[in-house]
Structure 1
Amino acid sequence: MTTELTQDPRPIFARALDQAEKQVAAVSPAELGNRTPCADYDVRELLGHVVSVLHKLVRVGNGDDARDVPDVIDGIADDGWASAFAQARAEVERVWADDEKLDRMVELPWATLPGRTALDAYTHEFTVHSWDLAHATRRLAGLDPDLGSRALDAFAKFAPPEARGEEGPFGPVVPVPDDADVYTRLAAYAGRRP
């Protein structure tokens, strides 16, 4: 029987990148200053962060140190974010096309993991950041509920509320109604205020 840890994470990762890329491409220059639910980031900074994450994934995929890449890339023209994301994504897909990299240990800024586990974790990060961008630009329709559900399940395992401190990317869980949609529950679980 195939488990989540032995499956190839790249198809689901690609779906998360498809969703994020659509959100990035939809952002207009007038929306770059909008606040996001992601603490301390406006839309421009969040775009710089997601492009940065792609660059970090290229670095670790090549066996290099991802800490050399800033958490937020700047200097991208207002109308250049879609192109910057697409170019960085193409490089990530090129680097991670090698099946052997899935089982090689990679050193991330926050952990050392097998490549497949790292891609799985970043799948969920891109899913949450897609919601962040969609919320900030009022484009919530069309987010993939399966990706949201997968991310919610994953966050419950690797970011349980009792393991969170004052520092880090996840605030306390925000209460939402039991019948809230999966992205509202995901955002609340990640500490956003949907």
Structure 2
Amino acid sequence: MNTDPRPVYARAAEQIAALVRTVRPEQLSGATPCTEFDVRTLLSHMVGGTRRIAVIGAGGDGLAVHPFVDGIADDGWPEAYDAAGAEVRRAWADDARLDAPVRVPWGETPGRNALSGYVMEAVTHTWDLWDALGRPLELDPEVAEFALAVARVVLPEPERGDDVPFGSARPAPEGADAYERLAAWLGRGPVAVG
């Protein structure tokens, strides 16, 4: 991908920040479409992943950053996410970072590809959190379209093995929006109600 993913990442991050601010303490132990995570674990992963892409953008070793964070108070998630997001903006401010080779969990790649991959991950987890919280906000469809395009490039085959952190693709519901199509492509479905 030759696009500059930073504007899309910025929009995705603003949306995540707004969504994280809606989380109530009693929702933290709730189920998410990311079946092995409750809301608290998902937030921990979203903050950890954001810290990881900040380190990558600054030229550091993203693999050295744990993709989960500990020690965040129940009411501290908005501040934790905002702080990590500020690190990302600083780390990726220099245009040269887009073409610099970086190391990410899936290998070495130009910075723009790494950040595009993290847009996909961030937007996917946005949908996970949004669904888990009862869909409290309207989501930006353009960031989901970007993330879906990335997902189809980096995960072109619908069947995925255990070494891929996303499930095999599922059929999207009829009339699905971009988020539902992204979730289905990455093997997710809404949290079961009842």
TM-score by length of 1: 0.91
Structure 2 partner of 1:137: 133
What amino acid maps onto 1:72 in structure 2? F
**Structure 2 CA distance for aligned equivalents of residues 22 and 141 of structure 1:** 8
In the alignment, is residue 39 of structure 1 matched against residue 35 of structure 2? Answer: yes
Higher mean C-alpha deviation, range 14-23 or range 175-184: 175-184
**Structure 2 CA distance for aligned equivalents of residues 58 and 184 of structure 1:** 27
Report the Cα offset of residue 45 of structure 1: 0.6
Structure 2 partner of 1:89: 85
Structure 1 partner of 2:105: 109
Structure 1 partner of 2:119: 123
In the alignment, is residue 156 of structure 1 matched against residue 152 of structure 2? Answer: yes
Structure 2 partner of 1:62: 58
- RMSD over equivalenced CA pairs, Å: 1.5
Residue pairs, 1:154-193, within 5 angstroms: 154-162=150-158, 164-193=160-189
5+ long unaligned stretches in structure 1: none
Structure 1 partner of 2:75: 79
Structure 2 partner of 1:98: 94
Name the SS for the 2:89 alignment partner.
helix
Higher mean C-alpha deviation, range 161-170 or range 16-25: 161-170
Name the SS for the 1:161 alignment partner.
coil
Report the Cα offset of residue 162 of structure 1: 4.6
Higher mean C-alpha deviation, range 166-175 or range 71-80: 166-175
What amino acid maps onto 1:185 in structure 2? R
Q: 1:146 to 1:64 in 2, by over 3 A?
A: same
Q: 1:45 to 1:109 in 2, by over 3 A?
A: same
Aligned length: 190
Name the SS for the 1:63 alignment partner.
coil
Percent identity, aligned pairs only, is 45
Structure 2 partner of 1:146: 142
Higher mean C-alpha deviation, range 103-112 or range 165-174: 165-174
Report the Cα offset of residue 140 of structure 1: 5.4
**Structure 1 CA distance for aligned equivalents of residues 96 and 159 of structure 2:** 32
**Structure 1 CA distance for aligned equivalents of residues 154 and 13 of structure 2:** 21
4+ long deviations beyond 6 Å: none
Report if the CA contact (8 A) 1:131-1:140 is conserved.
no
What amino acid maps onto 1:16 in structure 2? A
What amino acid maps onto 2:114 in structure 1? A
